[in-house]
């Protein structure tokens, strides 16, 4: 078996002399012995490589730019520290993510607070914590925020819904007209929001935001959204006398989950977004805004894998062969939520040729707890270490304690060293808050 060439696995992945999968200079089979499984495993080198690649790609295309890490993909204190060290801002979507940023020492002036229903408590906490920018999603939120900002100015951006459907899964498509997110273009709510922001001293309007969806492979949709948003920059600047200093186009760049996936590069995304902005602003004679992009999945998706131990094996003649592992929908709900597809390997048999097609089943009490419907692997045996690739994004962050199972440990590897980033939950943690 060969290491895929399409960045499916972390940059440092290789097959060592024992035929084992090695990541970050660490033998994953030995890691499973040391810590047990399941393990969320992250390669710090890949995370930093992706951050640097994204920043360089955007700045080469559009020098006046800023890159934010979309924390919802995977946010722990270690990730906030890495983002700060690499010069990224941070996209946060809840009071909890704000708390992690603050607790890790992240520069709060470089945070952007998103969300369609920020609570009163979260807005107060954001202001007290020094969150630098709040992305206002709707008129009722703007009115609530206006009642709170009495001590210091707060930068705000309006989230707009550009009406672009990127043809991704409906659950991760967020830029269509029928969306819970953002102001509709040309709506009365948007006009009223513009009027309100001009009358509130401490609401400092800085720009516009949109996000059309996730796991996008066709950059034409980014270009389409950018064209629409660039025209809105003109409208806000000339019609409403609200100069747009920042244009935040969100994230959404797809990654490889399967060997035949061929997603676009950050450079291709940046060009598709930057070109319309430059053309429209040049045509209208207005100063181009700072361009902001918010990668999350691209930064951590392929930097992470999950290690499982193979348990029971059940073959139904003429139907299928089930291979069950010690994890499943509680540590990776994406296949059940929106039919996400993944690729698996046997970490202890990377030098063996694929021999059989099996179904990777989880351990949880649901018939739908299937991680991979059809996986071509070497002959699978009890105790093998199964690796599911590209699980770095939206796995830990969406995990649960379903069936009262503790969440897995999170391990970071780099230069032959392993480090615990998040401890494995214990049974006592399951009842710690119960009364």
Give the chain's radius of gyration (CA, Å): 23
Beta strands (DSSP E) in 320-408 are: 320-325, 344-346, 356-361, 370-377, 385-388
**What is the rounded distance in angstroms from the CA atom of residue 166 to the CA atom of residue 416?**
40
Half-sphere exposure for 241 (CA within 13 Å, toward CB): 2
The answer to whether 233 and 209 have CB atoms below 8 angstroms apart is: no
365 is catalytic: yes
The answer to whether 137 and 187 have CB atoms below 8 angstroms apart is: no
Q: Tell me whether strands 21-23 and 26-27 are parallel, antiparallel or unpaired.
A: antiparallel
With 0-12 / 13-18 / 19 or more C-beta atoms within 10 angstroms meaning exposed / middle / buried, residue 39 is buried
The answer to whether 207 and 244 have CB atoms below 8 angstroms apart is: yes
**What is the rounded distance in angstroms from the CA atom of residue 210 to the CA atom of residue 208?**
7
- Nearest-CA neighbor of 220 among 291, 155, 273, 266? 273
Biggest CA-to-CA distance, the chain: 72
The active-site residue out of 210, 281, 365, 405 is 365
Q: Which residues are catalytic?
A: 365
């Amino acid at each position: 078996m060969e290491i895929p060439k399409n960045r499916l696995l972390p940059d440092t992945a290789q097959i060592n002399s024992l035929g084992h999968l090695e990541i970050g200079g660490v033998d994953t089979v030995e890691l499973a012995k040391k810590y047990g499984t399941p393990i969320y495993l992250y390669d710090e080198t890949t995370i930093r490589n992706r951050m640097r690649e994204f920043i360089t790609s955007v700045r080469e295309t559009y020098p006046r730019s800023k890159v934010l890490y979309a924390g919802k993909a995977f946010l722990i204190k270690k990730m906030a520290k890495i983002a700060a060290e690499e010069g990224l801002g941070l996209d946060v979507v809840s009071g909890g993510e704000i708390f992690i940023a603050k607790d890790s020492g992240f520069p709060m002036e470089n945070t952007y607070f998103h969300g369609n229903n920020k609570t009163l408590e979260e807005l107060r906490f954001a202001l007290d914590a020094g969150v630098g920018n709040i992305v206002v999603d709707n008129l009722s939120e703007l009115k609530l925020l206006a009642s709170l900002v009495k001590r210091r100015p707060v930068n705000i951006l309006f989230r707009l819904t550009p009406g672009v459907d990127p043809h991704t899964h409906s659950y991760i498509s967020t830029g269509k007209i029928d969306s819970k997110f953002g102001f509709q273009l040309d709506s009365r709510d948007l006009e009223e929001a513009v009027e309100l922001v001009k009358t509130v001293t401490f609401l400092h309007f800085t720009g516009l935001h949109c996000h059309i969806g996730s796991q996008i492979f066709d950059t034409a949709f980014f270009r389409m959204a950018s064209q629409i948003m660039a025209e809105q920059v003109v409208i806000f600047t000339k019609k409403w006398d609200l100069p747009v200093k920042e244009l935040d186009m969100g994230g959404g760049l797809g990654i490889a989950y399967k060997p035949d996936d061929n997603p676009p590069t950050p450079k291709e995304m940046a060009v598709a977004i930057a070109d319309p902005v430059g053309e429209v602003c040049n045509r209208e004679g207005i100063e181009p805004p700072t361009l902001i992009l918010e990668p999350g999945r691209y930064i951590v998706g392929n930097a992470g894998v999950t290690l499982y131990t193979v348990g029971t094996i059940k073959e139904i003649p003429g139907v299928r062969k089930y291979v069950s592992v010690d994890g499943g929908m509680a540590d990776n709900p994406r296949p059940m939520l929106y039919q996400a597809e993944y690729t698996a390997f046997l970490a202890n048999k990377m030098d063996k040729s694929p021999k059989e097609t099996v179904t990777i089943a989880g351990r949880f009490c649901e018939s739908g707890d299937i991680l991979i419907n059809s996986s071509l692997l070497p002959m699978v045996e009890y105790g093998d270490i199964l690796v599911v690739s590209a699980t770095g994004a939206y796995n830990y962050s969406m995990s649960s304690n379903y069936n009262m199972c503790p969440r897995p440990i999170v391990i970071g590897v780099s230069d032959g060293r392993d480090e615990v980033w998040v401890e494995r939950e214990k049974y006592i943690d399951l009842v710690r808050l119960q009364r």
